Structure 1
């Protein structure tokens, strides 16, 4: 009978830590699969909610910002297509951030009883939102067929910007997950931040409309929002020549991802050994 010895130390090098995560890759897939199954368990419509939610959101926002807000007067394509990338990004970002911030607390029983690299738990949440994203993109193609709109080759870059959206949520979500273990108020703050961020992100309107307000200082603050960069990038690759690539929002997005990604992992590793004490 083969046996394997595992030595657990308080401080590991980055290389050893990554090897340990790879050694627990089966647990990663188990947690991801469990989260997806739990999400749709005992629901009447099941995965149908992944169609209803983005579809209703697109229709409502297209009507609110397009018809009532009169933002569809200067668009060369149907305003529903303009709104769609914003809805796809926002639903994925908000869901990822919420899942990340609650990941350790919701798995407290597992954390307190079994040893494994705790980073696996927040990492596994990426698949929870990817199912909805995939369905939303299929829904976007159906809308394109309805309006006889044909995107170009830049659609191949969609997975890249979806990944960047998760990384943008990952840094804040990972720090929030650590703080939520010690201060459960974080679990109440995150939904408020998500609701507030909805209004300061170009989900139902173009970033260009903010630039045209004649307030340069507000535009400079607006493009610092990482969600703005994600939405602008996805619109660029989904809407053909309608939306130009916006470097003003993309550069801050890349800087935000790099800084928060490495800092959040360092912050997480510094505190992960104390999770059991607070749980």
Structure 2
């Protein structure tokens, strides 16, 4: 049995088990009509992803394989990218941490001092705010860097022997270094407020992994398109400016009528932001949010599949356009 058949077999079993689990899962407290609708939509989308996986197997699998085979080079280039980003400035990489901290302080001052926003439940507003902003900082920096990876490293794109598929993940890992610092900063900040880290806090790394995979798939789409349509970088900047307010970071879903919750939950970043707060504040496991978790991974897998196919199809034209 060749490797392709074996891989497809394993994925088929996994998809089948996941479909069965979605069907048999039941929340007696939820509206049963909505539950049925969620099950149907989840299974249909999951099966569509499976169909595209089978159809574009060769184009999809080659991408993770290349990333794994070049993992040492990726790590080396990511560290180099992080160091050289602030080369020439007096404070060096210190600037990577200054802007997010200043942003947090500004938002805290505006909302709590200026607008007199009170604590969120029993949680001080600054802690609630930090837990939501940290994943957003990572997402925005990783998406911006990953989108422009081909343009920034155009001299590598033109090299025939260089695996250009590793360029977006280099920028994402570079952003991850700063993110991990802020995760540690958040843990310390919560500890200062007598909220010591526990097993729930470890879920932060699960949600970081979720965000990493999602933004990686997204970057394979954007970095492919931006080579042909340079205005995409500016469009993404505008989307990020809107996105920070369209995501429940400075506000929470209960502030809105319940009938609108579904719309905002379609945003995958809502799952991530809520997840960080679940880990730091509300102390709940990610599997307790079954449909939210299933939806996020379905969207993430679909994004990665689409990104892999687009990247594979367009990369042969990159050198000509740069």
TM above 0.5, one fold? yes
> TM-score, normalising length from structure 1?
0.84
* Structure-to-structure mapping, 1:1-279, within 5 angstroms: 18-209=64-255, 213-214=256-257, 216=259, 218-241=260-283, 249-279=292-322
Q: Deviations over 1:213-266 (max 9, x none)?
A: 2251x3211111111110001110111449996556444322211110111111
Where does the alignment leave 5 or more consecutive residues of structure 2 unmatched?
1-57
Alpha-carbon distance, 1:71 to partner: 4.0
> TM-score, normalising length from structure 2?
0.74
Instruction: Provide closer, same or farther for how the CA distance between residues 21 and 215 of structure 1 changes in structure 2, counting only shifts above 3 A.
Output: closer
Mapped to 2, the partners of 1:248 and 1:49 lie a distance apart of 39
Matched residue SS, 2:227: helix
Alpha-carbon distance, 1:60 to partner: 2.3
Instruction: Provide closer, same or farther for how the CA distance between residues 76 and 27 of structure 1 changes in structure 2, counting only shifts above 3 A.
Output: same
Does the CA contact (< 8 Å) of 1:66 and 1:72 recur in 2? yes
Does the CA contact (< 8 Å) of 1:181 and 1:278 recur in 2? yes
Mapped to 2, the partners of 1:248 and 1:190 lie a distance apart of 28
Q: Deviations over 1:10-29 (max 9, x none)?
A: xx666566555444444323
Deviates more, 1:37-46 or 1:78-87: 37-46
Instruction: Provide closer, same or farther for how the CA distance between residues 215 and 68 of structure 1 changes in structure 2, counting only shifts above 3 A.
Output: farther
Mapped to 2, the partners of 1:194 and 1:226 lie a distance apart of 14
Q: Deviations over 1:108-149 (max 9, x none)?
A: 111113423321111222221111112112221332233222
Which one has a larger percent helix, Structure 1 or Structure 2?
Answer: 2
Instruction: Provide closer, same or farther for how the CA distance between residues 125 and 73 of structure 1 changes in structure 2, counting only shifts above 3 A.
Output: closer
Does the CA contact (< 8 Å) of 2:129 and 2:250 recur in 1? yes
Mapped to 1, the partners of 2:110 and 2:284 lie a distance apart of 21
Does the CA contact (< 8 Å) of 1:65 and 1:205 recur in 2? no
Matched residue SS, 1:57: helix
Mapped to 2, the partners of 1:243 and 1:58 lie a distance apart of 26
Q: Deviations over 1:129-185 (max 9, x none)?
A: 111112112221332233222243111121110111122222222111111111111
Mapped to 1, the partners of 2:289 and 2:62 lie a distance apart of 39
Mapped to 2, the partners of 1:151 and 1:66 lie a distance apart of 25
